Amino acid sequence: MTGICGVSNVSATGAIGISEEASAAQPALAAWLAGAGIACRRVDPAQPPARDEIRILHISEINHATVRDVLVAAGEGMPSMQPRANGMPARIAFGFEDMAFGLALIAELVRPAGRPACGEPESALYLKLAEKVAGSEATVLILGETGTGKEGLARFIHDSSPRREAPFVAVNCAALPETMLEAMLFGHQKGAFTGAAGSSEGLFRAAEGGTLLLDEVAEMPLALQAKLLRAIQEREVLPVGATKPIPVNVRIIAAANRELAQEVAAGRFRADLYWRLNVMPLTLKPLHARRLDIRAITATLLLRHTSAGEAVAWPTANALDRLMAHDWPGNVRELDNVLQRALLLKGGERIEADELAIETVMSASQPTLRAVPNLAVANDGAPAFAGATLADAARASEADAIREALEATGGHRVRAAARLGISERTLRYRLAEMRRIAA
């Protein structure tokens, strides 16, 4: 017999328990957690939980709850959330209109520490792949636009690996000049250069037994790339000013916001180093291609920016729709800025759509890894959007997404709305607007 999330009712390590009452109060919760990659199982609230187990119970089951649990309730009107405090479990209540954000908040409350927030099933599968990679000693190359979460993924791989108890050290290869970067990476002897009043072990040795993240590795000068290749290949470093190499035991994770294969073709990156780093490539999609992740990350950021004792400012359904519809050229960093501004400028208890100061002007230069949306092609081979305004293109793209969601759910509006990350009311409004434009 399977549990409500499609897993065995038998206790599983790390699985989140959900009671029958909690599931009945929020019927979509189990599916959202499963889509986010959070394993769950049915539990009897009267049975004592396992040590460190997290359960989701109904508010009526508070007498069986521990401080680690989350109590849920359903109810129309103003949504609410009280975090864990003073020995009491977290409590959250919301109605259908706020279901999209409420489910994301619950997932954030039970998300394992160190696991990146996600809502897209594809992103959850990607994290599962990253966990599998973490169990090996393979060098990892993470590609993605600036602000997509490359360092967070690198930390997750480290925390999921046998090296988790050893240091995780990150260095931005674009932040330091070549001479200083070499000394930072490999260390230096006293007097090796002007200002070297003492010796330094360097970041390779600082990460001994653990993981070294080489962020923005594409910015590393060619001369230093050769020394890096030798360090990775021979598992030893030669400090600046030293004559004898020193063995190191470090796992390398490299990250770049440009395609290294293109950098190799342009002569800006060594081919041998590229192949040494490209053992296990992982590419992070831009945020606009991960719509349900926007909902999950919004919940994460709002909880992070809410001070102890303060109420969480819930975005309205229209505000959440606007967040999920934006293209996010700045990815998670831009989303974080928008939410922080909204928290400062909001006029009431909730974040309204018109309080989201979202910039609509795109930068002149797009990142190399920016995904290009699929455009319909006319009979003459030209894009069907040619000559249209950005608003026209956005409406057409939105209509396509709505049609695809309805087709995938057999015309079921509630499930289609959940798939799109909007409320059913908003979906009805968008469908009416589509019919009006078509007429």
Least Cα distance to 239 among 212, 204, 270, 272 occurs for: 204
For residue range 165-208, what is the model confidence (pLDDT) as tens digits? 999 999 998 887 777 888 888 876 654 544 544 567 788 889 99
437 band by pLDDT with thresholds 50, 70 and 90 = low
> What does pTM read for this prediction?
0.76
Final residue belonging to a domain, choices 229, 256, 283: 283
Same-domain check for residues 235 and 179: yes
Same-domain check for residues 131 and 267: yes
Buried b / exposed e over 22-42, threshold 16 CB at 10 Å, is bbebbebbbebbbbbbbbbbb
Q: What percent of the chain has pLDDT over 90?
A: 57
In a domain, residue 379? The reply is no
For residue range 267-310, what is the model confidence (pLDDT) as tens digits? 999 999 999 999 999 999 999 999 999 999 999 999 999 887 78
377 band by pLDDT with thresholds 50, 70 and 90 = very low
- Say whether pLDDT at 249 is over 70: yes
Least Cα distance to 65 among 43, 85, 88 occurs for: 88
Domain containing residue 151: CATH number: 3.40.50.300
**Domain that residue 316 falls in:** 16-119+290-355
Same-domain check for residues 127 and 221: yes
Beta pairing, strands 16-18 & 40-42: parallel
- Say whether pLDDT at 389 is over 60: no
In a domain, residue 311? The reply is yes
Same-domain check for residues 247 and 183: yes
Same-domain check for residues 223 and 318: no
In a domain, residue 36? The reply is yes
In a domain, residue 369? The reply is no
Give 420 or 131, the one with higher predicted confidence.
131
Final residue belonging to a domain, choices 303, 332, 355: 355
Same-domain check for residues 151 and 245: yes
Final residue belonging to a domain, choices 283, 308, 342: 283
Same-domain check for residues 84 and 149: no
In a domain, residue 42? The reply is yes
In a domain, residue 380? The reply is no
In a domain, residue 321? The reply is yes
Same-domain check for residues 141 and 106: no
Least Cα distance to 269 among 222, 302, 208, 226 occurs for: 222
What is the rounded distance in angstroms from the CA atom of residue 397 to the CA atom of residue 401? 6
The domain total for the chain is 3
Least Cα distance to 170 among 270, 255, 276 occurs for: 255
What is the rounded distance in angstroms from the CA atom of residue 273 to the CA atom of residue 26? 51
Q: What percent of the chain has pLDDT over 70?
A: 82
Give 73 or 84, the one with higher predicted confidence.
73
Domain containing residue 323: CATH number: 1.10.8.60
What is the rounded distance in angstroms from the CA atom of residue 184 to the CA atom of residue 176? 9
Same-domain check for residues 266 and 400: no
Same-domain check for residues 342 and 431: no
Same-domain check for residues 351 and 418: no
Domain containing residue 422: CATH number: 1.10.10
The predicted structure's pLDDT at residue 100: 93
Same-domain check for residues 144 and 253: yes
